[in-house]
Structure 1
Amino acid sequence: MTPPSLTALGAWAELPFFAEDWPRIAEQLAAETRVVLPPAPQIFAALEHLQPSAVEVVILGQDPYPTPGHAHGYAFSAEPDVRPIPRSLANIFKELDADLGASPKDPDLRFWADQGVLLLNNVLTVPAGCAHGHARLGWQKLTAQVLNGLSDRPRAYLLWGAHAQKAAAEVDPARNLKIETPHPSPLSARRGFFGSRPFSRVNDWLQGQGKPGIHWTKP
């Protein structure tokens, strides 16, 4: 694959990762013989969509969907025509229904990003058909620097599963809203993700900060 351009990253491009780690990762991606997901122009889509000052809520995922045609650079989100809806996202929608009485009509969550929700995976690429196949490339350094860069003011963090919770271990729960539950995957959703009401809790917190809540269920 041809590594993506960094020109649309704005302030994120100033993170040390892009000078210190990205050249090596880009070289490894260029040498990858398997199909890399998401397509190169979408690898940094979540960061391109939201500049640091616009981020109000952070949702951390693990790595992109490994099924071709699903991943488009936003954690848990998928292209609008994807059916069936990925299983973890289907469980997120079940919890949305239980929490707010409705859920989105398709798996495209970019309208959340439009409202200040950073949908960031801890690892930004995956070989097609090989979940976690790029977990050792070093993407986690970018996640750590993004979170550190967002420590300038209080924000809400939805941390679903051990990977997200480990990545955000340094986020101050006294200063930020930090909701930690099991992952919404079919293997763990019933261990505490269901019933956690994260969406209404985030909106209550945002409104307590004098900010508008997120329209989670429809654009």
Structure 2
Amino acid sequence: MADAPPPPASWAGLPFFRDQWPALWARLRAVPDWQPAPDVIFRALALTPRDRVRVVILGQDPYPTPGRATGLAFSFPPGQPPRDSLRNILTELAEDTGQPKADGDLAPWADQGVLLLNTALTVPVGRANGHKGWGWEELAAQVVQATAADGPRAFVLWGAPAQRLCADLPRDGHLFIETPHPSPLSAWRGFFGARPFSAVNRWLAARGEPVIDWSR
């Protein structure tokens, strides 16, 4: 690994890329066995440019299982059966909308303006939260602050870390959906039955915007 992956153009003006990214990249280069691959670290920001964000779904960090991290929060590689948090998300989706999603690849959501952003964009293989505190949180904070400043957005915040990151965002005009995390350890505490997908679509429709086809 040599040159740092460049930020997607629409997000490149965030101070993180000038002030923190060079040092963070140097730290990543010095350690082995992390994922996702460098060319997809910023995939969430690339697939959902700043001016197209309509919904923000925050995750924690990429899946640590080898080969599973895709650069999109909660998403699985195409063709892999969903497990754990994603399986619970898709279970709730089917119950909420009556339109099940056939697989765990969430890239079609990103294409519709759903920013699937993790608060840490890399993870050591086999060690969840291993890059927590490395500086990624500053990028996530800047992204959500910029997104909130750009106009009314829907923020879907599953779990305490996502909710803390957005605690200081202005509330006027935005939709905030806050529930427990969809992890198998916490989904039963209020994630199941929260109906976030239909709530987002009702809010978008009331604004005269196209709804998200969550079944894609």
* TM, length-normalised to structure 2: 0.96
Q: Is the 8 A contact 1:4 1:43 kept in 2?
A: no
Separation in 2 of the partners of 1:81 and 1:4?
Answer: 30
Separation in 2 of the partners of 1:110 and 1:123?
Answer: 19
The equivalent position to 1:120 in structure 2, one of 117, 120, 129, is 117
Hey, what does 1:91 align to over in structure 2? Answer: 88
| 1:60-139 → structure 2 map (5 Å cutoff) | 60-83=58-81, 85-139=82-136
Amino acid at match of 1:122: T
The equivalent position to 1:198 in structure 2, one of 196, 199, 210, is 196
Give the match's secondary structure for 1:60: strand
- Measured at CA, do residues 107 and 2 of structure 1 come closer, stay the same or move farther in structure 2, by a change above 3 Å? farther
Q: Is the 8 A contact 1:80 1:106 kept in 2?
A: yes
Q: Percent identity?
A: 52
- Measured at CA, do residues 205 and 54 of structure 1 come closer, stay the same or move farther in structure 2, by a change above 3 Å? same
Amino acid at match of 1:116: G
Separation in 1 of the partners of 2:109 and 2:4?
Answer: 24
Q: CA deviation at 1:81?
A: 2.1
Q: CA deviation at 1:4?
A: 4.4
Separation in 1 of the partners of 2:5 and 2:172?
Answer: 37
Establish whether residue 5 from structure 1 lines up as the match of residue 16 from structure 2: no
Q: Which moved more, 1:99-108 or 1:37-46?
A: 99-108
Hey, what does 2:43 align to over in structure 1? Answer: 45
Separation in 2 of the partners of 1:66 and 1:94?
Answer: 22
Q: Considering only aligned residues, what root-mean-square deviation do their CA atoms show, in Å?
A: 1.1
Separation in 2 of the partners of 1:21 and 1:191?
Answer: 37
- Measured at CA, do residues 3 and 29 of structure 1 come closer, stay the same or move farther in structure 2, by a change above 3 Å? farther
* TM, length-normalised to structure 1: 0.95
Hey, what does 1:147 align to over in structure 2? Answer: 144
Q: Which runs of 5+ in 1 are unaligned?
A: none
Q: Is the 8 A contact 2:4 2:22 kept in 1?
A: no
Q: Is the 8 A contact 1:50 1:113 kept in 2?
A: yes
